Amino acid sequence: MKLRTLGYFVRQAWYSMWRNAWLSLAAMASVAVSLFILGAFLLLAFNVENIARTLQSNVEIAVFLKVETPRQKAIATGEAIRKLPGVTAVDFIPKEEGLRILSQQLGNEHDLLGALGGVNPLPDLFRVRVSDPAEIQTLAAAIASLPEVEKVNYGQAVVERLLQVIRWLRWLGAGLILMLGLGALFLVILTIRLAIYSRRREISIMKYVGATDWFIRWPFLLEGLFLGLAGAGIAGFFLYAGYNFLVQQVRLALVFVPLVTDASLIQMSIWGLVAGGAFIGIAGTYFSMRRFLRV
Residue 283 C-beta: closest distance to other proteins, Å: 22
Contact (Cβ atoms closer than 8 angstroms) between residue 235 and residue 31: yes
* d(C-alpha 259, C-alpha 156), whole Å: 21
Q: Are 284 and 196 in contact (CB under 8 A)?
A: no
In whole angstroms, the minimum distance from the beta carbon of 201 to other proteins comes to 6
According to CB under 8 A, which residues from 192 to 221 bind other proteins? 201-202, 204-213, 215
Provide the minimum distance between the beta carbon of 213 and other proteins in the complex, in angstroms, as a whole number.
Answer: 7
Q: Which of residues 211-270 bind other proteins (CB under 8 A)?
A: 211-213, 215
Total residues belonging to the chain: 295
Pattern 3-42, other proteins, x by CB under 8 A: -xx--x----------------------------------
Tell me how far, at minimum, the Cβ of 22 lies from other proteins, in Å.
20
Measured between alpha carbons, how far is 10 from 17 in angstroms, rounded to an integer?
10
Answer whether 81's CB lies under 8 Å from 87's CB: yes
Q: Which is nearer to other proteins, 10 or 29 (CB)?
A: 10
Asked whether position 290 contacts other proteins by CB under 8 A, the answer is no
Among residues 215 and 279, whose Cβ is nearest to other proteins?
215
CA atoms of 108 and 118, how far apart (whole Å):
17
Name residue 240's amino acid.
Answer: Y
276: amino acid identity, one letter: G
- Least Å distance, CB 217 to other proteins, is 12
- Cβ-based neighbours of 87, under 8 Å, separated by 6 or more: 81, 128, 129, 130, 131, 139
- Number of residues in contact with other proteins, rule: CB under 8 A? 17
Interface stretch with other proteins, choices 1-9, 60-68, 145-153, 237-245 (CB under 8 A): 1-9
Helix (H) or strand (E) holding 175: helix 156-198
At 234, the amino acid letter reads I
Query: Residue 83 or residue 294: which is nearer to other proteins going by CB?
Result: 294
CB of 218 to other proteins, least distance (A): 11
Interface characters, 143-182, with other proteins (x: CB under 8 A)? ----------------------------------------
Nearest approach in angstroms of CB 27 to other proteins is 24
- Tell me how far apart the alpha carbons of residues 179 and 176 are, in angstroms, rounded to a whole number: 5
Contact 268, 172 (CB under 8 A): no
* 139: nearest Cα among 76, 62, 79: 62
Backbone phi, then psi, for 57, in 5-degree steps? -75, -15
Positions touching other proteins (CB under 8 A) are 2, 4-5, 8, 201-202, 204-213, 215
